[in-house]
Amino acid sequence: MTNRETKSKVMTLGNKLARTMDRREAFIQAWIIVKAGSLELSVKGTSFGTRQTALKRLAAYDPSQIRTWVTPEPENPADPAAMAVMVMVQGGRGCYRLGYLPRELTAVATVFKAASIRILPGDIHGAKISLSA
């Protein structure tokens, strides 16, 4: 990534973060995120029964076989700014809404181009999504 591209991403992300936090802190966080090249977030809403079943099934696959992406849901009645985390297994039938990005970081997700998922084991499964620039 060139210096110009880095600055552009920091400015874009910093301005989006500044909507929800102190401007100076927003640009510090933006710089950290862009320099790291990715941002890992917990997927919200995975504790529901059918999503727990989906997580258990996804855990059986190699992560390279799972395609993950985020998509806006402007028709969502609970939050028109919601960003859904979608998953699909290669060779599978259709895609599945696994959960949502944290509400306070939905604006940030638009800066990232790629996503991958990590299933967290435990009595109640969870998932983290890694967004990369």
pLDDT score recorded for residue 133: 66
- My answer on whether 14 and 63 are in the same domain is no
- Alpha helices (runs of H) in 1-133, residue ranges in sequence order: 3-17, 23-36, 49-58, 106-109
Domain that holds residue 31: 1-36
Residue pLDDT tens, the chain, 133 long: 688 988 998 998 889 888 878 999 989 988 988 888 888 889 999 988 889 988 988 888 888 899 999 999 999 999 998 999 999 998 888 899 999 999 887 877 777 777 888 888 777 788 998 888 6
What is the rounded end-to-end Cα distance, in angstroms, of the chain? Answer: 10
- My answer on whether 4 and 46 are in the same domain is no
- My answer on whether 9 and 44 are in the same domain is no
Nearest to residue 37, comparing CAs of 89, 106, 114, 121? Answer: 114
Q: What is the pTM of this model?
A: 0.77
- My answer on whether 76 and 24 are in the same domain is no
- My answer on whether 96 and 126 are in the same domain is yes
